[in-house]
Amino acid sequence: MMEIANVSFPEVFILLGFSKRPSLEPILFIFVLGVYVVSVLGNGIIILVSCMDVHLHTPMYFFLVNLSFLDISFTTSIVPQLLVNLWGPQKTINYGGCVIQFYISHWLGATECVLLAVMSYDRYAAICRPLHYTVIMHPKLCCSLAFASWLGGLTTSMVGSTLTMLLPLCGNNRIDHFFCEMPLIMQLACVDTSFNEVEMYVASFIFVVLPLGLILVSYSRIAWAVLKIRSAEGWRKAFNTCSSHVAVVALFYGSIIFMYLQPAKRSSHEQGKFVALFYTVVTPMLNPLIYTLRNKTVKKALRHIVLENCGFGGTRGNI
């Protein structure tokens, strides 16, 4: 019985990653390490500023804190192992580490899809229902929506990842990617995976297609409301309110759609790794940059906090 278990579930997985391009690995190591540090610092600053400045205790920044924490967690679930594999000749990850990685990445990926939809609804309420905004987006609803996002992502991860983990692999342990992703684990199975594939497609529809549809509906309503605005100042406020979120949504969904809608050819698989590298490593770094560089409120709050901590608190009222 022990021998069957060992054959069905290997002790380690080999993550081939970018091993076909060994000369590229040192460059990728430096790049990924730099991006990871910036990502953690940037998202950490967003969380710190949003919690410390009372002017940012609003629904928009409450959801932004959730997004920043999610991005730190998501990239941390992948990057350390990627750096280890890029640094040395050993490209392995133990079975338990691989399982944990695809549980967490699946959970956080699904959560981000729902959270971005929730944030688009918040922007819809702010622009299309400004007089009722504080009534609609009250703290209890915000907490409920955030909790539902995290719980929904966790639920689909527990179901899909557990079904995948139960598949016998019959000794197959070579994953042609840089992290343990659920569809790639399914490809290693030595039994029929039709049921798992149906579950994955249903989950993808619920947690990717439906949230994207809600985002598009929200922004179509926002666009219609903005077209009715006559003043240039109104246009500017609407643009500042939505532009950062639109940029984040475009980056996140753009890379995912490109990744999963490209033709399933072997020649495009290497390209798919670089796209995956973008949405798992680069996008979490870009999110805080977008929200800080394009958002005057965040920049002003950050400047105030820095000045106060440097002993210039008295200058706050003059800025």
Q: What is the pLDDT of residues 91-113, one digit of tens each?
A: 889 988 988 998 999 999 999 99
d(CA 191, CA 263): 24
Q: What is the pLDDT of residue 3?
A: 39
Mean pLDDT across the chain: 83
Contact between 256 and 207 under an 8 Å Cβ cutoff? The reply is no
pLDDT at 41 over 50: yes
pLDDT at 260 over 80: no
Q: Which tokens hold the place of 266?
A: 């072997």
Q: What is the pLDDT of residues 168-206, one digit of tens each?
A: 888 788 888 889 888 888 888 888 888 988 988 898 889
Q: What is the pLDDT of residues 128-138, one digit of tens each?
A: 888 899 999 99
Q: What pTM did the predictor assign? A: 0.85
Q: What is the pLDDT of residue 269?
A: 64
**207 closest CA partner among 270, 277, 153, 146:** 153
Q: What is the pLDDT of residues 42-92, one digit of tens each?
A: 999 889 888 888 888 899 899 999 999 999 999 999 999 999 999 878 888
Q: What is the pLDDT of residue 261?
A: 55
Contact between 259 and 302 under an 8 Å Cβ cutoff? The reply is no
* pLDDT average, residue stretch 290-309: 69
Strand, helix or coil at 245? helix
Q: What share of the chain is helix, strand, coil (3-state, %, to 5)?
A: 80, 5, 15
pLDDT at 153 over 90: yes
Contact between 43 and 72 under an 8 Å Cβ cutoff? The reply is yes
CB atoms within 10 A of CB 230: 7
**Phi-psi region at 171: left, alpha or beta (left = phi > 0; alpha = psi -120 to 50):** left
d(CA 209, CA 211): 6
Burial of 132 (0-12, 13-18, 19+ CB in 10 A): exposed
308 or 49: whose pLDDT is higher?
49
d(CA 61, CA 50): 6
